[in-house]
Amino acid sequence: MDNEQRPNSALKCFLGFLLAIGILVTLCDAYCFFEPDSPQKSTQGCIQDGKLYLYGATWIKDCHSCTCGKEGIGCCSTFSRPAGFDEKKCKLIFHKESCSYSVVQKANPSKTCPFTAMVG
């Protein structure tokens, strides 16, 4: 009987591990986008807002971390958005200076609201 229980508990442990990894991947997923090379393509790198970035260069623009590659510019958000809060009583405020959000009460924005997750 003891041998029959071991595979069952090992399977439960493995399924619990898969669930935890699935949740972690979902919560850590960043918002990304890609800008293909422009018609005024440079042989040295990428051009964004009139500025040349050499291949392999990385920089921050509008709260996104960007990288120049031979195919174009790839950018991903550097911030996460709170989720799982009372949307009737609370609202999100984005702080561009720090690339972060706060969740505050609509009736009294000086008070914060609890939330249960961070997304993207």
Q: Does the domain made of 31-78 have the CATH classification 3.10.20.740?
A: no
Q: Is the pLDDT of residue 62 over 70?
A: yes
- Domain coordinates in residue numbering, the chain: 1-29, 31-78, 81-119
Q: Is the pLDDT of residue 95 over 80?
A: yes
- pLDDT tens-place string over residues 44-60: 899 999 899 999 999 99
49: left (phi > 0), else alpha (psi -120 to 50), else beta?
left
What pLDDT does residue 22 have? 40
Query: Any idea which fold 81-119 has?
Result: N-terminal domain of TfIIb (2.20.25)
CB atoms within 10 A of CB 91: 14
What pLDDT does residue 21 have? 39
* CA separation for the pair 41, 93 (Å, rounded): 38
The answer to whether the pTM exceeds 0.75 is no
* CA separation for the pair 14, 11 (Å, rounded): 5
Split at pLDDT 50, 70, 90, the class of 14 is very low
What Å distances lie between residue 18 and 13, 15, 22, 29, 107, CA to CA?
A: 9, 5, 6, 17, 41
Q: Mean pLDDT, to the nearest integer, of 51-75?
A: 95
What pLDDT does residue 6 have? 52
Q: Which residues pair with 77 in a beta bridge?
A: 64
**Tokens (6 digits) for 17:** 């591990």
